[in-house]
Chains A and B, each alone.
Chain A
């Protein structure tokens, strides 16, 4: 399988199964595009000899295994043998904001407001370490709701994690995802010292942010959050962090939101499409997805202009590292939800990921309920469903050129929008493909820009 596309006037061809990228001239692009679509090349306005020259070059690359190369063998995926290495701890099913697009019912997660007790958190970490096998690097994301609403437990979790590291020869990367509203000097200092990564949610322009990210009394939160986020980032130095925003149907000119964040001094930015059912307010759907796709070209212009002006920044979705890229198994399994990644609710319930929390159809177990051996039994049948759900088994993904870049997309979004973890939503796929073309273009044509 191959995929031909244009990146700012340069014609590129991706050999899907190997990841090789070729730059081609316009006649070759037309010939290859015709072949990709199953059209006759003889109908193209080029001489027979020119077409033959191009076909000969294609044949040479084919023999080298970098053009229309065969698919690799699918990695074997069995959840029962897979360690768990990553855990999302929903330390607070409560939030101090009431964002209109919140997937977690503004913090309730279908189960009412609750903070995670420290004993539950410790039991969760025990399960993570016990099920991590030989994995040295483990990850714990402190999530919510809003995790800063359960601050003492956050600190207790990190302290307990450090004990477990020593005892079991593990290294735990703690991360935190926060709306920033409750940040203060003590929390900023602690987060910058203890957290491997921090994600702060800001949607961009003040009016865009304040339209949807409001307090319980419907006031905007931008003016409170931005100075705190700036302070945290300025004190963080080179430490990993992201300012993460959500765009909706209401701000399809989201380049302006990226600009707004960049002008505030942020250099690690991720703005992502909201995930809502097509008929919900603010949804990206078939009627507006093409406008969103167009906007990524505008955003690319801005990213490259800023680079030229000596003010570069990283837009998360325009980055791929082709030289140090993940291995095939990682690309096949994707996020690892339900297999190597799980989420734990404040009441101890374990789910395949944070987006499934509260959906009893996906309840894997409870960290507080142990068997006679002291282990936490998990529903291995559900874990195996997730292990079996990969780019080699999903029909739509197996035929898609972008499969090794998105790894089949988000199972939770597929379930939410299409009712099945194996059927990625078309809108998400379209946006992902556009971002991937740009990312490949930036990675391979960068020396001229």
Chain B
């Protein structure tokens, strides 16, 4: 393509309806307010 270049593949639907729940609760990750869920890792894929 001449005008548009994809630089990041889709990531939102990963694990759709297959949540294992083993990841860290987001508010516990580093701070106790204004957490950003997306800055966490999936414990399965990050291994």
Contacts and interface: CB of A to CB of B under 8 A. Distances in A.
Interface of A: 12-13, 15, 17-25, 27-28, 53-54, 57-58, 60-61, 65-66, 69, 72-73, 75, 83, 85-86, 88, 103, 135-137, 139, 141, 143, 173, 175, 177, 197, 199, 242, 244, 268, 270, 272-273, 275, 316-317, 319-331, 334-337, 340-341, 353-355, 404-407, 409-410, 413, 428, 431-432, 435-436, 439, 443-445
Contacts of A268: 30
B6 A86 contact: no
Contact of B30 (A57, A83, A88, A244): A244
A407 B10 contact: no
Contacts of B8: 19-21, 322, 443-444
Dominant secondary structure of chain A at its interface with chain B: mixed
B25 A135 contact: no
Nearest to B12: A19
Dominant secondary structure of chain B at its interface with chain A: loop
A231 B5 CA distance: 47
Interface in B2-39: 2-39
A47 to B, nearest CB: 13
Contact of A19 (B10, B19, B20): B10
B36 A320 contact: yes
Given A86-B25, A135-B21, A324-B46, A331 B37 contact: yes
Chain B residues touching A, range? 35 or more
Contacts of B30: 197, 199, 242, 244, 268, 270, 316
Nearest to B29: A197
B25 A139 contact: yes
A17 B11 CA distance: 9
Nearest to B16: A328
A334 B10 CA distance: 19
Given A320-B39, A337-B27, A444 B34 contact: no
B28 A72 contact: no
A196 to B, nearest CB: 9
Given A321-B40, A329-B19, A444-B8, 9 more contacts: A12-B7, A19-B8, A86-B28, A135-B21, A177-B32, A244-B30, A322-B11, A325-B41, A335-B27
Nearest to A244: B31
